[in-house]
Chains A and B, each alone.
Chain A
Amino acid sequence: MLSYFFRRLMAGIPTLLISFTLVFFIAHATPGSPWDTSSNRPLEAAVKARLDAKYHLDDPLYVQYIDYLAGALQGDFGPSFRDRTKSVTDIVAQFLPVSMKLGSAAMLLAVVLGLPLGALAALSRHRVIDGVVRLISTLGISMPSYVVTSILIVAFGVGLGWVPTFGWKGVFSASSLVPIFSLALAPLAAIIRCFRTSMLEVMNLDFIRTARAKGLRPATVIIHHMGRNALIPAITVIGAYTSYVLVGSFFVESIAGIPGFGRYFVLAVAARDYPVIIGTTLIYALFVIVINLIVDLSYFLLDPRVRAEHGR
């Protein structure tokens, strides 16, 4: 099992290198300059040249590529161009935790609500409850997060005044309610759908009938026998959404005024802040790799067949 994970971890390295190469060249190929800000006047050519020289943007692109790669391997992702007093590492340390806290809360909400609702829908198939749950899940999947966030802010912030319309005062404050719910909606809907389907598949299998025939309590059958087996496909969905939600959503964070990673990333793209664009993309790629690995790890714990295949 260990060697399997070691191999998987090693396979992540070329993935990271390819992501880095792609984002490096795409970022530099995008027209625009990190120095020409939104002031009325165009930047003096001499000033631009000096800034380019200071940050080595006047070097040939392949030299910059190698330099950046060499720095990145030593954990130095360079300075941010948008805020020159900070390094990319500072920025990740400041903004990623905010997104991760919100994202964790949102995923927690999605899992805690999604699994029971999915099971409920499966158990009451084709009845009213099933219809209602499926309606919720269809709405959740089809409504983009920026629409949900805007509607929630207008309704509960401007209209009712229950939550602030804007800003961030920590994850345990009213300011995080709207973003958490907006972030949770899409994974919630996906979890409901996926878990409902897999529960439906599992519930007609022989071993469930056996469990029932043995006279086990219905709750035990549902949770331990059906739930555990139906969870395997749901874990894949949860994993995919976790890496997506934890690094933050630009729309939700911008609209709700959350100083998070997703918002910063898109601001960096607009500002042509190359080191931040590259650094944050690598973090994102790393997240996807690690979470996929965790998902695989969970198969080991949940599914004896996978254990049997890779175990020795």
Chain B
Amino acid sequence: MRLSHALLASAIALLAVGEAKPVIAETPSAFRMIVGEPRYMDPNLASDFSIYVNAQLFQPLARIKSDGQLEMLQAKNIELGSDGRTWTITLNPNYKWSDGTPVTAADWEYSWKRILDPKVASDVAAFLSDVENADQYNKGTITDASQVGIKATGEYTFQVMTAKVAPQFRAKLALPYLTPVPKAVVEQFGDAWVAPEHMVTNGPYKLVSRVNDQSIVMEANPHYGGKKPAIPRIEMTIASGDLCTAQLRAYEADEVDFVTCLPSQDIDRLQKDPELSKQLDPFPLAATEWVQYDMTNPTWQDKRVRHALGLAIDRNAIVVAVSNGTARPAASIVPDSIPGGSSGDAIKGSVDDARKLLADAGYPDGNGFPQFTITTTANRGRPLIAQLLQQMWSENLGIQASINVLEENAYRAWVQSRKTEKYDTAIQGWWSDYADPANWYGDLVLSDFRQNHFSNAEFAALVEKGNSEPDPAKRIEFFRAANKILEEEQPMSAIQNPTDLWMVKPHVRGLKHEGVLNMYHIEEATLE
């Protein structure tokens, strides 16, 4: 039996070799949570959910309050010149990097130009596209960064010039995507500047350790210029796969203090639990999910067909099935919380009206209507929505759809290739990036990011006018008029407005939802 002895010994040796010490110490004063692995720790690159982790480390100029006004953070003052294009930003000199050096206008200029640098190839560049020459520099048609309309004019002031009058830029200035990076450190260490031993931050926390796919630990930034965080330490454990299930299990076992999403099959149990139900913290998102029709495909060019399909959807049934009623049924695309959006513009009518519209379009009882496909991504409960639509349209209108479910990344590729290829219908969604109508009517509809191919000259003209109108009240009127056209034309039929569901332990106080992105700022919370 020598072999088995040898196997045993080598197995034990293998186990003992380089056994890592536990990274996270048990500290009662730490805020514990589970997050997904951030794709980027570099805030100039992060445009996905990494920003929620980054937001503890890096801070933007300001935050936009629910009334649309700016609350200053790193900036002391933001002023728009009389030309409507020159934004002068005065920094608050109290804010320092976590190594004690001041955050200067040069850092901001460097960072925002870095975002636009074609070699950096950052996704964040889209948020600076209003800036003069930003697009040209980003696309490589001009190579001289000094022509970009971002310029430090003093140690603590810099100016941003937009290409034209762009009132929506005020909201973008407060975006968590647009934060500074420390010029000196980035230049010294290159890509490795994000390593815990090099990284310095301007936000309430600094990075203490990071092990890929395992853990992130932050501690209060001693040089932070704002109010000192009450919680000195944050311990994040990294999960992948089913993040919501992992979070809830850890929460119920008292291993984390905070949960950012819940598996839908557990919502009912949690709502009925006398203790846990009190810890549920829902937040209605300025977001919408819908089914869209290929507007270049002859099947869908008859408005009566689109109205019929839109009216035949039982939105309440979908909301109950998909999120146990926590999402909100949506009759119109742009949420009411976005200026211009109005659910009152939604098309009205019963299932009988829908049947009549379809008959008027030449398909009585669905006869002669071609079999079509609903394409959807495999995540976010969307396949279930597709099945419900299939059933509702079959039962209410007598038309038959098949369902095509694609893995998330394949679905994105499919959507992009619809630029030139025909399709029938697809389930889609949009989450506000910033609280401004330009983000919906402009970015979503006019830019045609979702390949809906809705083209309407009157709508486009109204949105263009709205985008360049400096007077806020007049501006909203343009978007209100555009909203009526969008709903009447019905290129997409709204289904639901998603709701974020947090759970927060009772000993955590003051953790608030911030902005349309539903950010959390742990520095505002306390542990009791």
Which A residues fall within an 8 A CB radius of B? 30-33, 36-44, 46-47, 50-51, 54, 82-86, 94-95, 97, 100-101, 104-105, 107-108, 111, 153-154, 157-158, 161, 164-173, 223-224, 227-228, 231, 254-255, 257, 259, 263-264, 267, 270-272, 298, 301-302
Contact partner of A166 among B139, B212, B255, CB < 8 A?
B255
* Known pairs A43-B123, A157-B249, A259-B238; A264 contacts B213 (CB<8 A): yes
Closest Cβ of chain A to B379, distance in Å, is 9
Contact check, A166 vs B34: say whether CB atoms are below 8 A apart. yes
B514 at the interface (CB under 8 A from A): no
B240 pairs with A170, CB closer than 8 A: no
User: What are 15 residue pairs bridging A and B, where the CB atoms are less than 8 Å apart in the complex?
Assistant: A31-B410, A32-B412, A44-B123, A50-B118, A86-B212, A94-B212, A111-B4, A153-B249, A166-B249, A167-B255, A170-B22, A172-B19, A224-B1, A263-B240, A270-B407
Contact A263 B413 (CB under 8 A): no
CA distance A130 to B279 in the complex (A): 50
Q: Nearest Cβ in chain B — how far from A262, in angstroms? A: 11
Q: A31-B410, A161-B253 are in contact. Are A54 and B121 (CB under 8 A)?
A: yes
A198 to chain B, nearest CB (A): 15
The 8 residue pairs across chains A and B that have the minimum distance between CB atoms = A32-B409, A254-B241, A259-B213, A169-B22, A165-B249, A259-B214, A39-B47, A31-B410
Q: How far is the CA of A255 from the CA of B248 in the complex (A)?
A: 12
Q: Does B431 contact A (CB under 8 A)?
A: yes
Chain B's closest residue to A43 (CB) is: B123
Q: Once bound together, how far apart are the Cα atoms of A271 and B413, in whole Å?
A: 12
**Bound state CA distance, A32 and B433, in angstroms?**
24
Asked if A154 meets B8 with Cβ closer than 8 Å, knowing A33-B409, A37-B48, the reply is no
Determine the chain A residues whose CB is within 8 A of the CB of B414 once the complex forms. Answer: 31
Contact between B413 and A167, CB atoms less than 8 A apart: no
Contacting pair B238 A36 (CB below 8 A): no
- Taking a contact as CB atoms under 8 Å apart, the answer to whether A166 and B121 are in contact is no
Chain A residues with CB under 8 Å of B14's CB are: 100-101, 104
CB distance from A196 to the nearest CB of B (A): 18
Known contacts being A50-B121, A264-B213, A270-B407, is A41 close to B443, with CB within 8 Å? Answer: yes
Distance in angstroms from B520 CB to nearest chain A CB is: 18
* A41 with B126, Cβ < 8 A, contacts A104-B11, A228-B1 known: yes
Complex Cα spacing A36 to B449, Å: 13
Q: In the assembly, what is the distance between CA of A59 and CA of B431, in Å? A: 35
19 new A-B contacts at CB < 8 Å, known A82-B39, A84-B191, A165-B246: A31-B410, A31-B413, A32-B409, A33-B412, A37-B39, A38-B49, A40-B431, A41-B47, A41-B126, A44-B126, A47-B122, A85-B191, A85-B192, A158-B253, A166-B249, A169-B24, A224-B1, A255-B246, A259-B213
Asked if B19 and A223 make an inter-chain contact with CB atoms under 8 angstroms apart, the answer reads no
Among the interface residues A46, A86, A271, which one has the most CB atoms of the partner chain B within 10 A? A46
Cβ–Cβ contact B47 & A42, under 8 A: no
Partner of A167, one of B39, B237, B242, B416: B237
Q: CA separation between A173 and B26, bound complex, in Å?
A: 14
**How far is A272 from B411 in the complex, measured between Cα atoms in Å?**
13
What A residues does B413 contact at CB under 8 A? 31-33, 36
- Interface size on B, as a range, is 35 or more
A36 to B21, CA, bound (A): 36
Q: Are A42 and B416 in contact (CB under 8 A)?
A: yes
- B245 to A: closest C-beta gap in Å: 8
Given A32-B410, A170-B20, A259-B213, are A47 and B249 also a contact pair (CB < 8 Å)? Answer: no
- A165/B250 in contact, CB under 8 A: yes
Partner of B415, one of A42, A97, A255: A42
A158 to B252, CA, bound (A): 6
User: Per a CB cutoff under 8 Å, which of B3, B19, B409 touches A270?
Assistant: B409
Whether the Cβ atoms of A171 and B252 lie closer than 8 Å is no
Chain A nearest Cβ from B503, distance in angstroms: 14
* B300 close to A (CB within 8 Å): no
Q: Are A301 and B19 in contact (CB under 8 A)?
A: no
Q: Among residues 181 to 216 in chain B, which have CB atoms less than 8 Å away from a CB atom of chain A?
A: 191-192, 194, 211-215
A168–B21 alpha-carbon span in the complex (Å) = 10
B444: min CB distance to chain A, Å: 9
Q: Which residue of B lies closest to A298 (CB)?
A: B3
User: Known contacts being A32-B409, A85-B194, A164-B255, is A37 close to B237, with CB within 8 Å?
Assistant: no
Task: Check if B18 is an interface residue, CB within 8 A of chain A.
Answer: yes
Residues of B1-35 contacting chain A, CB below 8 A: 1-4, 7-8, 11-12, 14-15, 17-24, 34
Note all chain B residues with C-beta closer than 8 A to A105. 11, 15
Contact of A254 among B192, B242, B409 (CB under 8 A): B242
Asked if B221 is an interface residue, CB under 8 A from chain A, the answer is no
Residue of B nearest to A223 (CB): B1
Complex Cα spacing A82 to B2, Å? 45
Tell me if B430 is interfacial: C-beta within 8 Å of chain A: yes
CB pair A47–B11 under 8 Å, yes or no, is no
Interface flag for B125 (CB, 8 Å): yes
Q: Contacts A41-B126, A86-B212, A95-B213 given: A166-B431 contact, CB under 8 Å? A: no
Looking at the assembled complex, report how far the CB atom of B122 sits from the nearest CB atom of chain A, in whole angstroms: 7
Q: A41 CA to B283 CA in the complex, in Å?
A: 22
Is B472's beta carbon under 8 Å from chain A? Answer: no
Q: Chain B 217-245 against A: per-residue CB contact (8 Å), 1 yes, 0 no?
A: 00000000000000000000111111000
Known: A47-B123, A171-B19. A40 touches B409 (CB 8 A): no
| Contact (Cβ within 8 A) B412 A42 | yes
Nearest neighbor of B49 in chain A, beta-carbon distance: A38
Which residues in A have their C-beta under 8 angstroms from that of B252?
158, 165
A228-B49 Cα distance, complex, nearest whole Å = 56
Given contacts A84-B191, A95-B213, A165-B253, contact A104 B15 (CB under 8 A): yes
CB-CB under 8 A from B17, the residues of chain A are: 97
Report the separation of the CA atoms of residues A64 and B9 in the bound assembly, to the nearest whole angstrom.
43
Minimum Cβ distance to chain A for residue B133 (Å): 15
Q: Note all chain B residues with C-beta closer than 8 A to A33.
A: 409, 412-413
- Measured between beta carbons, the chain A residues less than 8 angstroms from B2 are 301
**A165 to B239 CA separation, bound complex (whole angstroms):** 12
B3 touches A272 (CB 8 A): no
Contact yes or no, A108 B11, CB < 8 A: yes
* Chain A residues whose C-beta falls within 8 Å of the C-beta of B510 in the assembled complex: none
